[in-house]
C-alpha cells in the first residue's frame, strides 16, 4: 500500500507545490473590468494540475436563480446531465470558456461543486449511515446528517500521488529476485525501445514515472490503453442503461396479479424494484468503466467494442480488471479527507472518507427550503470510484 501522508503534510505540499500561475492572457484588453469580474468568480485550482483534460485553473461565476430552478426540477437520474451545461455557462475567462465541463474527471467535477457550494454556505450537512442501522430492516434504516465545514477539507494533488507511486514502485522493484529483475528490465527495454539495457536501473525506471494519460496495461500479448473516467462517460452510460431498463421497470409497475392482496403485491413489487435497481447500478458501473478504455493493440475502440471488451474474460480476465481498479485507486486525488461523526443514536464514532462518499446530489446549490427529501435523493445518487 502507498504510504499515506499526514493531513498537515498534504496541506504543506499543496502550498509549496502549487504553481502560482498568472491570470490568463485574456485580461490584456480591458484589464480593469476583467480583474474585477475575475474577483467575483470562484477560482478553482484543480488537484489534477492540468494533467488530464481540465486546465490547472478555472473560473466560475455563481449559479443564477434560473440555474437553481433547473437543478431543483431535475430528476436525480438526470442531475449530472443537467449540471454540465449549467457549469459550462458559468465558466469565465478565455481558457475556461474553451473547456467543456463534460471532459472533467469525476474528481475535478466534485472539486468544482464543492468550490461553488462554499460560495453559498460553507457549513455542509453530509448524510451518512451508521453501522447501528444495518441491523434494522432496510425500510427502517435511517441516515444521519453530519456537519462539515467545507473550507476545512484536505486535498491531495496528482503530484503527491505521483511521489507516493514512485516510492511504492521502487519497493516493488527492490522486492524482485535477480532473475525476475533481469526479466523485467529486458521487457521494459523492449516496451520502451531502449537499446542500451545497461543504462536501465531501478532508479531510472522510477524517475521516469509520470502520471499521464493514456495508461497501458498488458494482458498476455494484448496491449490495452485507458484513461480516467470522464463526466461524459457517466452521462452516456446513464442514458443507455436508463433506456435499457425502462421497459422492465414499466412492466413491473403495471403488473397485475389477480387474487393477491394489495399489500402483499406491493411488498413483492418493492422487493423486485430494489433488485432491479441493484442490477441497473451494477451494469452502469461496468459501462462507465468500459468507456474509459481507449485502444486494444493500438486499434481505437468503438463504444460497443469497449463494452464487449470489458466483459470478454479471455482478453479481460478478472485479474486485469482488478489490476486496473487498484491502479485507478492509487491515482485518486482531489478531496482527500476523513471526517468524524458521532452517531446521535448509538454514540459510535463514524469515520467517513469523503473522497469516496461525497455525492453530486448533496453538493447542489440548494438550501433546506428547496432541498428535496435527502434520504430519497441519496439513495439514488451516483457515487464514484470503488
Q: Nearer Cβ to Zn ion, position 39 or 349?
A: 349
Residues 6+ apart with CB under 8 A from 368: none
Strand-pairing partners, residue 307, are none
- The reply on whether position 240 binds Zn ion by CB under 5 A is no
Among the listed ranges 131-139, 172-180, 197-205, 373-381, the one in contact with Zn ion (CB under 5 A) is 131-139
In the complex with Zn ion, the residue whose CB is nearer, 64 or 342, is 342
Q: How far is it, in rounded angstroms, from Cα 22 to Cα 17?
A: 15
Q: Cβ closer to Zn ion: 35 or 136?
A: 136
Cell matching residue 294: 481507449
48 contacts 105 by C-beta, under 8 angstroms: yes
Residues 283-302 that bind Zn ion (CB under 5 A): none
Q: Residue 59: name the closest of 18, 15, 21, 19 by CA.
A: 21
Judged by CB under 5 A, the chain residues 314 through 373 that form the site for Zn ion are 343, 345-346, 348
Stretch that binds Zn ion, among 19-27, 52-60, 126-134, 291-299 (CB under 5 A): 126-134
Closest to Zn ion by CB, 286 or 343: 343
Q: Which of 111, 184, 186, 188 has its CA nearest to residue 150?
A: 111
| CB-nearer residue toward Zn ion: 141 or 330 | 141
Residues 50, 105: contact at Cβ < 8 Å? Answer: no
Binding flag, residue 11, Zn ion (CB under 5 A): no
Bridge partners for 335 per DSSP: 155
Residue closer to Zn ion by CB (options 15, 340) is: 340
Query: How is residue 24 written as a grid cell?
Result: 490568463
The number of residues that bind Zn ion (CB under 5 A) is 6
The answer to the question of residue 130 lying near Zn ion (CB under 5 A) is yes
Cβ of residue 124: shortest distance to Zn ion, in angstroms? 20
Q: Which of 236, 227, 232 is nearest to 99 (CA)?
A: 232
| 129 binding Zn ion? (CB under 5 A) | no
363 CB contacts (<8 Å, ≥6 apart)? 110, 113, 114, 117
Interface contacts to Zn ion, rule CB under 5 A: 130, 132, 343, 345-346, 348
Amino acid at each position: 500500500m502507498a504510504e499515506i501522508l499526514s493531513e498537515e503534510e498534504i496541506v504543506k505540499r499543496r502550498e509549496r507545490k502549487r504553481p502560482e500561475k498568472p491570470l490568463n492572457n485574456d485580461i490584456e484588453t480591458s484589464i480593469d473590468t476583467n480583474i474585477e469580474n475575475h474577483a467575483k468568480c470562484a477560482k478553482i485550482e484543480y488537484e489534477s494540475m492540468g494533467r488530464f483534460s481540465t486546465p490547472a485553473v478555472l473560473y466560475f461565476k455563481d449559479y443564477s436563480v434560473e440555474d437553481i430552478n433547473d437543478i431543483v426540477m431535475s430528476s436525480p437520474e438526470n442531475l449530472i446531465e443537467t449540471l454540465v451545461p449549467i457549469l459550462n455557462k458559468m465558466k469565465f475567462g478565455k481558457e475556461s470558456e474553451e473547456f467543456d465541463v463534460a471532459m472533467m474527471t469525476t474528481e475535478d467535477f466534485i472539486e468544482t461543486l464543492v468550490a461553488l457550494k462554499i460560495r453559498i454556505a460553507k457549513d455542509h450537512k453530509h448524510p451518512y449511515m451508521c453501522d447501528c442501522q444495518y441491523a434494522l430492516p432496510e425500510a427502517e434504516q435511517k441516515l444521519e446528517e453530519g456537519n462539515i465545514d467545507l473550507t476545512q477539507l484536505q486535498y491531495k494533488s496528482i503530484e503527491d500521488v505521483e511521489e507516493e507511486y514512485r516510492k511504492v514502485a521502487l519497493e516493488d522493484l527492490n522486492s524482485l529476485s535477480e532473475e525476475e529483475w533481469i526479466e523485467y528490465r529486458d521487457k521494459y527495454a523492449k516496451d520502451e525501445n531502449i537499446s542500451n539495457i545497461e543504462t536501465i536501473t531501478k532508479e531510472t525506471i522510477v524517475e521516469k514515472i509520470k502520471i499521464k494519460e493514456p495508461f497501458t496495461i498488458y494482458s498476455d500479448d494484448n496491449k490495452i490503453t485507458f484513461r480516467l473516467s470522464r463526466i461524459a462517460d457517466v452521462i452516456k452510460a446513464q442514458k443507455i442503461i436508463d433506456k435499457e431498463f425502462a421497459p422492465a421497470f414499466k412492466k413491473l409497475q403495471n403488473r397485475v396479479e389477480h387474487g393477491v392482496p394489495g399489500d402483499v403485491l406491493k411488498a413483492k413489487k418493492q422487493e423486485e424494484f430494489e433488485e432491479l435497481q441493484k442490477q441497473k447500478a451494477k451494469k452502469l458501473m461496468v459501462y462507465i468503466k468500459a468507456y474509459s478504455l481507449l485502444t486494444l493493440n493500438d486499434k481505437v475502440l468503438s463504444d460497443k467494442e469497449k463494452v464487449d471488451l470489458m466483459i470478454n474474460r479471455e482478453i479481460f480476465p478478472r485479474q486485469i480488471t482488478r489490476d486496473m481498479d487498484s491502479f485507478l485507486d492509487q491515482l485518486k486525488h482531489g478531496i482527500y479527507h476523513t471526517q468524524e461523526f458521532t452517531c446521535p443514536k448509538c454514540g459510535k464514532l463514524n469515520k467517513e472518507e469523503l473522497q469516496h462518499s461525497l455525492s453530486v446530489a448533496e453538493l447542489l446549490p440548494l438550501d433546506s427550503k428547496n432541498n428535496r427529501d435527502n434520504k430519497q435523493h441519496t439513495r439514488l445518487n451516483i457515487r464514484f470510484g470503488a
